[in-house]
């Protein structure tokens, strides 16, 4: 249970908002700290960007808000985004839902954000207004007497939060939920309800929704300013969409003659005109009709300036922006135009005439005023190759925000349901030439992470993500070309690999229809479709046996099943409840574990039968179990009561004394001098919630994050790296994947692995019951020592005609190496066909490998690895001996 953010201030909240100081520092005495550097695994985007907001008072000061991933500030130097809310922790995770953001155009160091994720009971805390006097580097909090819905319907309208440019101590907030209009007169320290405002809104998307998600009053929509004392407010009321005050907010009136029948998503003032973009729903996923209107503030007259007549379209309008350097120039976007693509409209005469970003020529052909360059983020093709008139990548969808730079008419940014795009040559549109649209999402990481795997060979990381499936992360610091595909499983809920044969992976997902499972034979890069039992409606969890001979799947919609054919056929398991969480032992190929409703279950026959343990486990909260690589029968369980450890396959569990609450547990490479793998924990140790590492099986802990790096609702996906001591991968719900390394001088192995999948030497991607199984355990060479280093050769997987190997190079000297070389001679016709993390030369049977440019330097006592694929021409694949290693210092 997360602690409430408002505590005992309820009585005061009834009268108005209460200011509290931001407290990203902890008062409890925690475990010792081990300094770490935290970075995102680069994906770029991956979710809905409801708004981009330029500060009109300072060049290149730009903010973006997301619905579940916090807020960001633009860095002009390297064209990237800096996250501003990573201090948000488990107790106030809803603050990562940013309903609105408002920069101060006068004192440009100030910026405000309205935060809170849900207005129902999914988010236990009330909303808040955050305020910063250093452009978002640090914040203070003003709690509100109601909730905000940064991830609720209508979240793309706005901006609901606005600073009065004529008197910037006045900050206005248009609230949802029928809560009305609020104002601060002290730079956001306190807020009071504007009791004179007459309409709290009445639009509800679905009053009958039993999930309490679609049935809220979407309230007020935006605040904007005209001349001194002129304030306009949008209201989610189709009969009364816009109100105006001419006396600084003392009195309000509905604007006479205003358009009705639609909701005003956006309101923008330029000169003497108020422009509004309307749609028939609150969005952001829907909207089938709408209009664009211009209001002459002086004359008090309305003009319909819609680019297209309602009868001729299937979309409403939302994204609306003006060019402050060229009065009369404005743009508007379709709220939703799924087919064939989004449409942007541009006018240079205050909406009297419009041009479109694309036009029909002879169906299905189009003429386009743009080209798209997604070189930076190639996955934005979404693995599609549609038939015309559709194309890939798409301009976008859910286009609730367009923003022209107030200092540069050529730059525009806009958000979509997948990422943030932009152009720097927008004025080409008016000159009759094309504009170039590119992703502008570097540093903005918004994926929801559902599972992570870091195998002992191959890519350092494979992910399972909401919406976009997940990736084979050959590099942690470079965007990957494609996400998991063929099969496409929608949101991927779980993935696993065979610990002793890590080329074999399985993943499952929540596709609307079959398939729900994919199998990989090359470490998670390429996949083929598995079969599935009848009744499967969602991914659930998947476990792969240690040698890939067995798989156990607990999907949604049906019971638990096991497979002995790598997913090409399934048989019902017995003794385990439907919906159980499943996990494999990392040593015994036939041992699997399961958890359901406070009970632990063990199978010793490959998942065919399970037996319940007498151990008592927690039955509610965020629960995760993982087995330890290299130790048969050792399994750990993280739950609301703490961290539990079993060394007898779940028959009994022992509680780790200092851990009072656990969210997830994972294992990584053992610390120097230790035989047991390092244990990583997201949980509470000594009263402090954070990310921790133990090098002595839980006897002592070090905290490896800090109060500036908490990432909100994080930890449901967690993995330690088996090749790099100290490295951990942390999944978040909306801030993407983080990886963290210790701040030491120790050598860090590279974050890259093969960029191309094996061809001639790989096993067939088709499932086959008659194919020989991979080797059940690694085959390892004797360790050889020459010239201050050792090299250990290991076969990590094999199949008919091919194999995968890995060599560990360790520095046995007292000083760091500058370079190294490893060699061996094959005796059975083997050939190295591909190698990563080094450069290979094979002359006949003799193989020589020298370091890559990034891993020649190995600290004293440190190590690095390189991996390779090989082919065999005979019936055997003996380990070569000796393995030579030489190093220069």
Enzyme catalytic residues: 67, 467
Q: Which of 659, 676, 658, 675 is nearest to 667 (CA)?
A: 676
603: helix, strand or coil: strand
Q: How many residues make up the chain in this entry? A: 889
What span, in angstroms and rounded, lies between the C-alpha atoms of 221 and 232? 11
Q: What does each C-alpha distance from 113 to 104, 456, 565, 868 come to in angstroms?
A: 11, 43, 53, 50
Contact between 714 and 733 under an 8 Å Cβ cutoff? The reply is yes
Contact between 516 and 488 under an 8 Å Cβ cutoff? The reply is no
Contact between 805 and 523 under an 8 Å Cβ cutoff? The reply is no
Please, which residues have CB within 8 angstroms of residue 393's CB and are 6 or more apart in sequence? 372, 374, 380, 381, 382
Strand partners, 198: none
Residue 364 preceded by cis peptide, ω within 30:
yes
Token pair in block for residue 320: 């609306």
What span, in angstroms and rounded, lies between the C-alpha atoms of 462 and 465? 10
458: helix, strand or coil: coil
Q: Which of 35, 25, 31, 29 is nearest to 643 (CA)?
A: 31
Q: Which of 141, 154, 233, 238 is nearest to 194 (CA)?
A: 233
Q: In what order do the strands lie in the sheet with 819-825?
A: 838-843, 846-851, 819-825, 884-888
Q: Which of 502, 498, 518 is nearest to 458 (CA)?
A: 502
Residue 284 preceded by cis peptide, ω within 30:
yes
Q: What does each C-alpha distance from 585 to 159, 505, 543, 618, 841 come to in angstroms?
A: 51, 15, 9, 21, 38
What span, in angstroms and rounded, lies between the C-alpha atoms of 186 and 189? 6
495: helix, strand or coil: strand
């Amino acid at each position: 249970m997360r602690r409430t953010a408002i505590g005992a201030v309820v009585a005061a909240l009834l009268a108005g908002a209460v200011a509290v100081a931001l407290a990203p520092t902890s008062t409890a005495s925690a475990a010792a700290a081990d300094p770490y550097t935290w970075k995102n695994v680069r994906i770029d985007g991956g979710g809905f960007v409801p708004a981009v907001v330029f500060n009109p008072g300072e060049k290149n000061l730009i903010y973006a808000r997301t619905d579940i991933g916090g807020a960001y500030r633009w860095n002009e130097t390297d064209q990237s985004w800096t996250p501003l809310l990573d201090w948000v922790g488990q107790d106030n995770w809803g603050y990562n839902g940013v309903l609105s953001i408002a920069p101060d155009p006068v004192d440009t160091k100030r910026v405000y954000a309205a935060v809170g994720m849900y207005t129902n009971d999914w988010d236990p805390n009330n909303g808040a207004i955050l305020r910063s006097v250093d452009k978002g580097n640090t914040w203070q909090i003003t709690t509100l007497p109601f909730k905000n819905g940064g991830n609720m319907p209508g979240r793309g309208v706005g901006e609901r939060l606005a600073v009065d440019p004529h008197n910037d101590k006045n900050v206005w907030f248009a609230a949802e939920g029928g809560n009305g209009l609020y104002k601060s007169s002290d730079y956001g320290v306190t807020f009071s309800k504007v009791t004179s405002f007459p309409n709290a809104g009445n639009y509800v998307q679905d009053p009958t929704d039993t999930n309490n998600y679609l049935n809220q009053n979407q309230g007020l929509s935006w605040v904007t300013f005209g001349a001194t004392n002129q304030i306009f407010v949008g209201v989610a009321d189709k009969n009364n969409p816009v109100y105006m005050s001419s006396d600084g907010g003392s009195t309000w009136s509905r604007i006479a003659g205003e358009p009705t029948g639609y909701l005003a998503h956006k309101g923008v003032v330029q000169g003497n005109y108020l422009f509004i973009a309307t749609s028939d729903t609150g969005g952001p996923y829907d909207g089938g009709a709408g209009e664009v209107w211009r209001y002459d503030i002086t004359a008090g007259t309305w003009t319909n300036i819609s680019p297209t007549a309602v009868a001729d379209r299937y979309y409403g309008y939302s994204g609306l922006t003006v060019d402050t350097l060229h009065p009369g120039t404005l743009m508007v976007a379709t709220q939703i135009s799924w087919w064939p693509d989004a449409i942007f409209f541009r006018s240079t005469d205050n909406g009297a005439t419009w041009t479109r970003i694309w036009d029909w020529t002879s169906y299905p052909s189009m003429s386009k005023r743009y080209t798209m360059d997604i070189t930076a983020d190639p996955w934005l093709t979404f693995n599609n190759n549609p038939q015309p008139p559709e194309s890939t990548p798409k301009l976008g969808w859910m286009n609730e925000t367009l923003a022209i730079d107030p200092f540069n008419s050529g730059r525009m940014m806009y958000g979509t349901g997948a990422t943030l795009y932009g152009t720097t040559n927008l004025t080409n549109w008016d000159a009759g030439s094309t504009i170039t649209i590119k992703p502008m999402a570097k540093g903005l990481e918004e994926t929801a992470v559902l599972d992570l795997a870091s195998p002992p060979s191959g890519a350092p990381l494979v992910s399972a993500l909401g919406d976009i499936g997940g990736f084979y992360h050959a590099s942690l610091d470079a965007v990957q070309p494609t996400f998991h595909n063929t099969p496409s499983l929608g949101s991927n809920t779980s993935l696993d690999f065979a610990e002793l044969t890590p080329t074999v992976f399985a993943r499952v997902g929540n596709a609307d229809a079959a398939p729900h499972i994919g199998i990989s034979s090359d470490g998670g890069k390429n996949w083929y479709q598995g079969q599935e039992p009848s009744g499967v409606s969602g991914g659930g969890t998947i476990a792969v046996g240690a040698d890939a001979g067995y798989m156990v799947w607990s999907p949604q919609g049906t019971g638990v099943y096991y497979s002995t054919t790598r997913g090409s056929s399934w048989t019902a398991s017995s003794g385990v409840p439907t919906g159980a969480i499943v996990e494999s032992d990392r040593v015994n190929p036939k041992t699997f574990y399961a958890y359901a409703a406070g009970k632990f279950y063990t199978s010793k026959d490959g998942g065919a039968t399970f037996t319940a343990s007498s151990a008592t486990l927690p039955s509610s909260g965020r629960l995760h179990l993982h087995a330890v690589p290299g130790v048969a029968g050792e399994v750990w369980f993280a739950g609301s009561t703490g961290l539990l450890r079993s060394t007898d396959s779940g028959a009994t569990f022992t509680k780790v004394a200092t851990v009072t609450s656990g969210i997830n547990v994972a294992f990584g490479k053992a610390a120097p001098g230790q035989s047991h793998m390092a244990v990583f924990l997201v949980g509470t140790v000594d009263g402090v919630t954070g990310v921790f590492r133990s090098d002595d099986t839980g006897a002592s802990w070090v905290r490896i994050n800090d109060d500036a790096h908490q990432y909100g609702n994080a930890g449901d996906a967690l993995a330690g790296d088996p090749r790099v001591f100290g490295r951990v991968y942390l999944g978040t719900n909306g801030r993407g994947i983080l990886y963290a390394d210790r701040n030491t001088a120790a050598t860090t192995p590279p974050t890259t692995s093969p960029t191309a999948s094996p061809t001639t030497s790989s096993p067939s991607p088709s499932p086959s019951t008659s194919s020989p199984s991979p080797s059940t355990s690694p085959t390892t060479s004797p360790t050889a020592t020459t010239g201050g280093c050792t090299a250990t050769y290991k076969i990590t997987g094999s199949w008919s005609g091919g194999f995968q190997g890995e060599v560990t190079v360790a520095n046995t000297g007292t000083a760091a190496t500058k370079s190294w070389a490893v060699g061996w001679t094959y005796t059975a016709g083997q050939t190295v066909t591909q190698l990563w993390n080094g450069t290979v030369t094979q002359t006949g049977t003799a193989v020589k490998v020298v370091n890559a440019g990034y891993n020649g330097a190995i600290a004293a006592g440190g190590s690095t690895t390189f991996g390779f694929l090989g082919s065999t021409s005979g019936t055997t694949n003996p380990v070569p001996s000796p393995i030579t290693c030489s190093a220069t210092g």
